[in-house]
Amino acid sequence: MMKNNEKTPSKARLKYEQILADLRNPVKKAVRSQKISNKLGSLFRAILIFGLAFVIIFPIFQQITLAFRHPQDVQNPLVIWIPEKWSILNFKIAFVLLKYEVSLFNNIRVSLVCMVGQICCSVLAGYALSRLKFKGSNIIFILIMMTFIIPPQAVSVSRMLYFANFDILGLVKLFNDGNTISLSGKRIILYIMSFTGQGINSAIFVFLFRQFFRGVPVELEESAEIDGAGVVRTFWSVMLPNARGVMVTVALFSFVWQWNDVYYTELLGISDNFPLLTMQLKNTAEWLPSLMKLYGLDNLVDPEIRGNALFTSLIANTAGFMMCLPLLIGYLFVQKLFVEGIERTGIVG
Amino acid sequence: MADQQELLQEDVIEETIEPQTSGAIINIYDKEEEQDNSKGIKKFFKNIVKKVKAFTRRTIIKISSSKVAKGLKVAWEKGILPALKIIFYPIVLFKRKVYDRMSSKGQKTFVSIMFLMPVLIGFVIFYLYPLIMSLIYAFSEVSVEPGKGIVVLFGQHTVKDGDNVSVVRDLFYNFKELFTGKTGMLPVKNPTSGAEESISLLQALAQTSWQTILDTIVITIFSLLIAVMLNGNFKGRAFARAVFFLPVILNSEAIAAATKSTEAIDSMLNSVGSNALTNIFDMKTFMTSVGIPAKLVTFLNGITSTIYSTISYAGVQILIFLAAIQSVPGHLYEAAKIEGATKYEEFWKITLPMVSPMILTVVVYTIVDSFLRSDLNEYVQQLAKNPLYGFHAAASWAYIIVSLAILGLALVVLKKVVFYYDEK
């Protein structure tokens, strides 16, 4: 075959030979199979990511279209996606029922203060537990993790009673004529707890910071020490600026968790004179008809629709969307910082 | 016109000053910002931010040059600063006399303890004390009386049987009642018939543990996969990451509770055949109307609903894994590449072993989290709202013990898997 070809070397034949040789070449074979597997892998990844992103984003669109639907269309089988009658009536009703103008700012205030507290105490603890080790610091770490493993939800009654009759080692009784003070219903207790590492999932934040500081190279610290920086100075001007990524992560999580929190606000009975979005939302879903009567919203909607259970669902949905809206908008702005933060969360020099 | 010109001039002056003031700090982030030429919405927002910054700078200059500010400055220098110095003198003295004379190691220990102080105080006051009290409550009858505060009768229980009131001396009364008696009945929805059934606490514990084990396995594997996927280099990675953490933000107990109260009505209406909202907006109907076979639709629907809940509970886990993957030293991958390892082999031989210590963390987190989300926890909280404090304490200790048992099991299983890499 080969000899025949040498006599009459047509261009097409040569090309064919070339391709055959390429196909048989083991090196090129390996390269090809790697390329194909890479392509297939990235295709699979693209499909998976696209599908999961769809699963995540779909309910949000659903909620938005539902929120803009007029209550009259509640049982209209023709309306599936685009409302026949666009209206912001749902928003109006939810706005009043949530006491949105007050509770939104209350929420922001509580979440911000708790966020700052959580970051402060967990960054300090995380640094101390990873870089300033002494005998027994591992035991302290285990104790801190215990606050997460045995969650405060499990001891909520004794906590509730404890806050209702607050007394530290009889000291409060000593100075208060033998009476304990009641801390329930006061939001300052939330702040104190987040500044002393007992906020929502504080142990996780301590863990994240500890994990990060463990990864920072020792040389950085040593060079700071050689330059004459003390322990606090090293922490403040060398380690802390490096921890920016983790801090953003922790800030986002603590803010969001505090925003969505029901357990603590309910346990401490904070919502009575200090409306928070979560509690208002819960009340709205439970007592919608009577609340509407209370706020004089009855004439906005026909009585027939008002009695419909689906109307309650519609309003609850809208109110839930309104509760999430500030977070969503905030996330749009912080998202870039957060994603960058994730990249710096586990960095090793 | 004159005013405008003045303002413009001011702007120009400030802009010329700006690089000098901010030039002292070399910042990577700012450099990046200067380089990218963004358009559209981004530019719009950046302009707004710029204007706000200029405005604040202008107002700060105006305020600082006013008479009040000067007066305050004098007051600060002559009055407040010396006073502060006197107040904080003991601390300064302490630093000079004790702290500065310590060895470097002593200083470290001292600072470490100071850093840990807030957490330790919080731990003792807000956590340890309630925990111990709850252990005592579990074995006693607890009531709150207006004049006396909390009344705890250790190992004693008053039992009302009609008009007869008798005192029972039994340490484990609460537990016995919960596991056998009426107070231990937990209303649970039967998944097949939808009817409300009541099961005892023991059954609930078993059910929750089983659910937790399943959840933990699924979420751990899922979050590891997602983290590996998000770690790779591809177009739109930032977008994908931003989207994947959305459920964490939207995952709210309050919203779940609000929609849950209406869910029962919806399902009832659905069974009657009326057009309930959830039905109309279901993906199921959407897909069947497009023409996808019914069996496939139910399958996909089941998957999507589980996937959504899995993602929304897997946020922290994905984060932990991502951080762990990023801290794997790059030279390991380089060496593997030179040896001709495929991506698959890289995952099993490098990524998984290096990440394995974090698997432990993720498993612990997932177990605790899924226990918190279970019906059991809800029921225990319900006991707290009815003033059945003793029962609540007993139930929560049963809960704690079971969750600790599962954690122990997980630790024993994972101990063989975990691999610790030591670079030194």
Tens digit of pLDDT for each residue in B93-128? 888 888 888 888 888 888 899 999 999 999 988 888
The one-letter amino acid at B29: Y
Contact call for residues B99 and B91 (beta carbons, < 8 A)? no
**A218 close contact with B: CB closer than 8 A:** no
Q: What is the pLDDT of residue B52?
A: 92
Cα–Cα distance measured from residue A314 to residue A69, given in angstroms and rounded to the nearest whole number: 9
Cα–Cα distance measured from residue A321 to residue A201, given in angstroms and rounded to the nearest whole number: 25
Q: Are the Cβ atoms of A196 and B109 closer than 8 angstroms?
A: no
Contact call for residues B322 and B229 (beta carbons, < 8 A)? no
> Between B133, B253, B276, which is nearest A158 by CB?
B133
- Both structure tokens of A134: 């002494």
Q: Are the Cβ atoms of B258 and A198 closer than 8 angstroms?
A: no
Chain A residues with CB under 8 Å of B283 CB are 58
**A294 close contact with B: CB closer than 8 A:** no
- Report pLDDT digits (tens) over B243-269: 888 888 887 777 776 666 555 555 554
Distance from CA of A5 to the nearest CA of B (A): 37
User: What was the ipTM of the complex prediction?
Assistant: 0.81
Chain B residues with CB under 8 Å of A208 CB are 320, 323
* CA A46 to chain centroid: 25
- The residues of chain A scoring below 70 in pLDDT are 1-8, 74-81, 168-174, 176-180, 271-272, 307-309, 343-349
Q: Which residue of A has its CA nearest to B323?
A: A346
| DSSP letter string, B11-22 | HHHHHHHHHHHH
The one-letter amino acid at B201: L
Give one word for A177, left, alpha or beta, with left for phi > 0 and alpha for psi -120 to 50: left
- Can you give the three-state secondary structure of B229-273, one letter per residue? HHHCCCCCHHHHHHHHCHHHHHCCHHHHHHHHHHHHHHHHHHHHC
The number of beta carbons lying within 10 Å of the beta carbon of residue B384 is 22
Question: What is the Cα Rg of chain A in Å?
Answer: 30
**A84 close contact with B: CB closer than 8 A:** no
Cα–Cα distance measured from residue A185 to residue B311, given in angstroms and rounded to the nearest whole number: 34
The number of beta carbons lying within 10 Å of the beta carbon of residue B27 is 10
Q: What does the mean pLDDT of chain A come to?
A: 82
Q: Are the Cβ atoms of B127 and A198 closer than 8 angstroms?
A: yes
Topology of domain B200-415 in CATH is MetI-like fold (1.10.3720)
Chain B residues with CB under 8 Å of A133 CB are 112
Q: Are the Cβ atoms of A154 and B380 closer than 8 angstroms?
A: yes
Average pLDDT over residues B377-405: 80
Chain B residues with CB under 8 Å of A260 CB are 251-255
Q: Are the Cβ atoms of B269 and A282 closer than 8 angstroms?
A: no
Q: Are the Cβ atoms of B400 and A66 closer than 8 angstroms?
A: no
Nearby residues of A55 by Cβ (< 8 Å), 6 or more positions away:
B304, B307, B308, B311
Distance from CA of B226 to the nearest CA of A (A): 9
Q: What is the pLDDT of residue A123?
A: 94
Contact call for residues A317 and A288 (beta carbons, < 8 A)? no
Phi, psi of A275 (to 5 degrees): -60, 130
Among the listed residues A90, A99, A69, the one whose alpha carbon sits nearest the alpha carbon of residue A315: A90
**A75 close contact with B: CB closer than 8 A:** yes
| Helix, strand, or coil (residue B148) | coil
Q: B26 pLDDT band (50/70/90 cuts)?
A: very low
Contact call for residues A327 and A259 (beta carbons, < 8 A)? yes
Q: What is the pLDDT of residue B148?
A: 66
**A34 close contact with B: CB closer than 8 A:** yes
> Between B281, B283, B365, which is nearest A66 by CB?
B281
Report the DSSP pairing between strands B196-199 and B186-189: antiparallel
Distance from CA of A19 to the nearest CA of B (A): 25
Cα–Cα distance measured from residue B114 to residue B119, given in angstroms and rounded to the nearest whole number: 10
Chain B residues with CB under 8 Å of A253 CB are 248, 316
The one-letter amino acid at B50: K
Give one word for B149, left, alpha or beta, with left for phi > 0 and alpha for psi -120 to 50: left
Widest CA span of chain B, in angstroms?
Answer: 94
DSSP annotation of B76 reads I
Write the CA distances from A235 to A212, A224, B108, B401, integer angstroms: 13, 10, 11, 39
Among the listed residues B124, B91, B115, the one whose alpha carbon sits nearest the alpha carbon of residue A134: B115
Cα–Cα distance measured from residue A156 to residue A172, given in angstroms and rounded to the nearest whole number: 22
The number of beta carbons lying within 10 Å of the beta carbon of residue B239 is 13
Least-confidence region, from A116-130, B327-341, B352-366, B372-386: B372-386
**A58 close contact with B: CB closer than 8 A:** yes
Q: Which residue of A has its CA nearest to B123?
A: A198
Cα angle, residue A52 at apex, residues A48 and A54 outer, rounded to 5°: 120
Contact call for residues A232 and B224 (beta carbons, < 8 A)? no
Contact call for residues A193 and B126 (beta carbons, < 8 A)? yes
> Between B244, B325, B364, which is nearest A149 by CB?
B364
pLDDT at B49 over 50: yes
- Both structure tokens of A6: 């040498």
Cα–Cα distance measured from residue B287 to residue B293, given in angstroms and rounded to the nearest whole number: 9
Q: Which residue of B has its CA nearest to A75?
A: B275
Q: Which residue of B has its CA nearest to A263?
A: B253
Contact call for residues B399 and B205 (beta carbons, < 8 A)? yes
Domain boundaries of chain B, sorted by first residue: 90-136, 139-171, 200-415
Chain A residues with CB under 8 Å of B247 CB are 56
Q: What is the pLDDT of residue B289?
A: 67
Q: Are the Cβ atoms of B112 and A134 closer than 8 angstroms?
A: yes
Q: Are the Cβ atoms of B308 and A56 closer than 8 angstroms?
A: yes
pLDDT at B22 over 50: no
Question: What is the Cα Rg of chain B in Å?
Answer: 31
Of B36, B109, B129, B249, which to mutate for an interface test with A (greatest number of A Cβ within 10 Å)?
A: B249
Cα–Cα distance measured from residue B295 to residue B287, given in angstroms and rounded to the nearest whole number: 11
Contact call for residues A312 and A94 (beta carbons, < 8 A)? no
Chain B residues with CB under 8 Å of A345 CB are 319, 322-323, 326
Chain A residues with CB under 8 Å of B240 CB are 49, 53
> Between A38, A160, A232, which is nearest B384 by CB?
A160
Q: Please report the sign of the dihedral spanned by the C-alpha atoms of residue A97, residue A103, residue A108, residue A114.
A: negative
- Report pLDDT digits (tens) over B294-309: 777 777 666 666 777 7
The one-letter amino acid at B64: S
Q: Are the Cβ atoms of A286 and B118 closer than 8 angstroms?
A: no
- Can you give the three-state secondary structure of chain A, one letter per residue? CHHHHHHCCCHHHHHHHHHHHHHHCHHHHHHHHHHHHHHHHHHHHHHHHHHHHHHHHHHHHHHHHHHCECHHHHHCCCCCCCCCCECCHHHHHHHHHHCHHHHHHHHHHHHHHHHHHHHHHHHHHHHHHHHCCCCCHHHHHHHHHHHHHCCHHHHHHHHHHHHHCECCCCHHHHHCCCCCECCCCCCHHHHHHHHCCCCCCHHHHHHHHHHHHHHCCHHHHHHHHHCCCCHHHHHHHHHHHHCHHHHHHHHHHHHHHHHHCCHHHHHCCHHHCCCCHHHHHHHHHHCHHHHHHHCCCHHHCCHHHHCCHHHHHHHHHHHHHHHHHHHHHHHHHHHHHHHHHHHHHCCCC
